[in-house]
Structure 1
């Protein structure tokens, strides 16, 4: 129903209604696009641990994390940005492509293949630094998942590799999950036959342990759409 402007000047109730509607429309327009409609889009940028190597689709990290978050009432879609065999350099190279999916939040899980291949930790640090810098430019809330060097690589390698993740998380002001494979690494019952990739039970434990960190970041970032 159209309300003539001349009438608004004399009809106090109509004027108040008009002003209330106008303010509400302005408030909605001022919200970020992610807050107006649709699920929270979480990009899991990683390697085979994210991609779900050797697992049925429903058993991988991405679908299990999505199910866990939805089970807590969050309207989320977790995007699988995992590529088996990928290094931090590979993750950096495809970052633009991954961000084309317009995520609201990013989980970075890279570095395991760098470590397994004995890549110079300085190179891994530089690549992850660039990834986090770009995500910062995009103002994307980020959770960095840490990795630890295998014992057979020796103490010198571990001394250079392990601090990469806490150092960069602090430098870029992003959330840190200290060790992606916490509770799963080197536990035969939780890994596939290769001893490196978690089986469905191993992924379940990873998801149980990392989900609170993801939930915290969702809430701290103002993306909370729990029902």
Structure 2
């Protein structure tokens, strides 16, 4: 990135990145770019490869189809909730996640230009509580151990949104109208954790 060239952002993920349940300008990806611009960064509109319901396999296929033109100055990766929801074991998830992390790294200038985000805890939402929450929570905890370990091993940056996602147990306003996905207020709380890390990656 030169002084005259806006920073390029690539966001890879699923419903949590595309912003299922909120307007496009309310999702954390959109607000991240807004915040960076407000801080004086020159940032292009983000390239977002994410959809509701996507697993790692879906994301992999979409990346191959879209074939985004790197390198990017900032790459975010948030994936795994649907693998977990579909009861995929941690041992099955681990190589798939590492493959997605490798793909993210391939689009970045350096490993510390990649921001890995932990998988939010959906088990405390109304929908999550109806679907064997203890079993899902145990599997999700192992998933996030894998996410953290992989991020450390590859030297990427890591943002943990799990503590924030757990606040839905006490504050129902953090859940969107579909009783599952994050409301705008939760996207804002995630953003407080993501912005400083993303800004550091661009610096």
Same fold (TM > 0.5): yes
Larger radius of gyration: 1
On the 8 A contact 1:165/1:178 being kept in 2, the answer is no
Q: For the residues of structure 2 that align with 1:168 and 1:217, how far apart are their CA atoms? A: 18
Q: For the residues of structure 1 that align with 2:137 and 2:187, how far apart are their CA atoms? A: 28
Q: For the residues of structure 1 that align with 2:36 and 2:197, how far apart are their CA atoms? A: 11
Matched, 1:84 2:14: no
On the 8 A contact 1:50/1:60 being kept in 2, the answer is yes
Matched residue SS, 2:165: coil
Q: For the residues of structure 2 that align with 1:152 and 1:35, how far apart are their CA atoms? A: 49
Equivalent residue for 2:119, pick from 110, 133, 147:
147
For 1:94, the equivalent position in structure 2 comes to 62
Matched, 1:133 2:116: no
Query: Quick one: higher RCO (CA 8 Å, sep 6+), 1 or 2?
Result: 2
Call closer, same or farther: CA 1:154–1:50 in 2, change over 3 Å.
closer
Kindly report the root-mean-square deviation, in angstroms, between the aligned alpha carbons of the 2 structures.
2.2
Tell me the number of residue pairs that the alignment of Structure 1 and Structure 2 aligns.
Answer: 185
For 2:202, the equivalent position in structure 1 comes to 218
Call closer, same or farther: CA 1:203–1:107 in 2, change over 3 Å.
same
Q: For the residues of structure 1 that align with 2:189 and 2:120, how far apart are their CA atoms? A: 18
Matched, 1:198 2:182: yes
**Structure 1: stretches of 5+ with no match in the other structure:** 1-33, 220-227
**Structure 2: stretches of 5+ with no match in the other structure:** 124-132
Matched, 1:73 2:45: no
TM-score (norm 2): 0.80
Structure 1 runs (4+) deviating above 6 angstroms are: none
On the 8 A contact 2:49/2:59 being kept in 1, the answer is no
Equivalent residue for 1:208, pick from 187, 192, 200:
192
TM-superposed CA distance for 1:87, in Å, is 0.9
Q: How does 1:11-50 map to 2 (within 5 A)?
A: 34-35=1-2, 37-50=4-17
For 1:168, the equivalent position in structure 2 comes to 150
Q: For the residues of structure 1 that align with 2:193 and 2:74, how far apart are their CA atoms? A: 18
Greater Cα shift, 105-114 or 183-192 = 183-192
On the 8 A contact 1:148/1:161 being kept in 2, the answer is no
On the 8 A contact 2:164/2:189 being kept in 1, the answer is yes
Cα shift readout 1:115-160 (whole Å, capped 9, x = no counterpart) = 1221122222111211222333455421110125645226752453
Q: For the residues of structure 2 that align with 1:164 and 1:157, how far apart are their CA atoms? A: 11
Call closer, same or farther: CA 1:190–1:72 in 2, change over 3 Å.
same
